Amino acid sequence: MNIYIVIITIFAVIFNLIILIFPKNIMTSASNGLVLWYKYALPSLFPFMLGINFLKQTPFPLFLSKILSPVTKKIFKIRGYGTFAIVSGLLSGYPIGAKIVCDLYNENKISKGEARYLISFCNNSGPLFVIGTVGIGFLNDKSMGYFLLAVHYMSALIIALITPKPNTLHQNTGAYKYISMWDNMRDSLMTSISSITAVGGYIVLFSIVCTMLSNITDIMGIQLSPTLSSIVYGLLEITNGCSSVKEITPLSISIISGMIGFGGLSIQSQSMSYISLTDIPAGGYFASKLAQGCISFGLAYILLGIFHILPA
C-alpha cells in the first residue's frame, strides 16, 4: 500500500479519536476558529474577493496592463494579464493571489512559465489583514501594522527578483469577452462566497489541530514556551499564530512577520487546492513561501534593530 495513503489513514484515525476523547476542547476550539474567521478573515478578505472576481471579468485587466506593462515587463519580465495578477496579489490577501494566477492560467491568459513565476510571489497577505487584523486588532498598534506590511512587500519583491523569470511570454493578450453586469455580479458573488467559506473551514480545521497538539503535549508532559507555542500555531494557521503573541518585542514582531510571509499550512492548503487544478509545480511554490517566511523574519529583525521603532 502507498505510504502516503497509510499516513493519511493514521492521521484520520487519530484525528477522530482525539475528537472523541476531548469533545469539549474540540468544540471550544472550533468555536474559536469560527469567531476568528467571522471577526477577522471575513471582513478583511471577502470584499477583496468580490471586487477582484468582478474586475477580472471586465476590460480592467487589459487596461491595467497597458498602463503598467512597461514597468512590470522591465522588472518582472511580465506583461498582459500577468500585471493584473501582480497587483491583485499584493492588495487582496491570501489565498486570492494563488486563485487569480491559477484562474488566468486555466483561462489561457498567461503561459505556464508566467504562472509558475507569478505564483511564487503573487500570493500574499492583504493590507486589511496585516494593518487592521494584526496591527490594530492583535497588537493594538497601527504603526506596527504598516511596518509588517512594508516588510511583507519587500520580501515578496526579493522572491520575485531571485526567482528565475519566464523564458517566454504569453502571446495572446486575451481579448475581452463580454459578460452582462448581472451575470458578472452573480458569478463573482457565488465564487466569493464559496472561497470565503472554504477559508473559514480551513481556519476552523487548523484551530482544532492546534488544540489537538496542545492536548497531546499536555498528555506527554511537554511544556512549550509561549514563543515556541506561537511559532507552532503560526506554522499551522496564521490567524491563530498572530493572535497568540502577547507581547511586543523585536523577536515577537519578527516571528509575526515570518508567519505572515509564510502564511501557515492552512493558507498553503487552500492555495494548493487551486494549484492542484493546474499543472503548475506545487513544490516550487511551497519552497518560495518558506523562503519568503525566512526572509520576512530576517528583514524585520534587522530593521527593528537598526531603527528601534517599537513603542516604548
What local confidence, expressed as pLDDT, does residue 178 receive? 62
What local confidence, expressed as pLDDT, does residue 60 receive? 83
Nearest to 196 by CA among 304, 62, 67, 99: 99
Q: Which residues of the chain have pLDDT under 70?
A: 1, 168-178, 311-312
222: amino acid identity, one letter: I
DSSP 8-state code for residue 129: I
Model-level pTM? 0.86
What local confidence, expressed as pLDDT, does residue 175 receive? 56
Q: Return the SS3 of 15.
A: helix
What's the N-to-C CA distance of the chain in angstroms?
58
What local confidence, expressed as pLDDT, does residue 241 receive? 87
What local confidence, expressed as pLDDT, does residue 181 receive? 77
User: Which residue has 469539549 as its cell numbers?
Assistant: 24
What local confidence, expressed as pLDDT, does residue 48 receive? 83
User: Is residue 37 within 8 Å of 204, Cβ to Cβ?
Assistant: yes
Torsion of CA 270, 274, 277, 279, to 10 degrees: -110
Query: For the chain, which residues make up each domain, given as ranges?
Result: 21-307
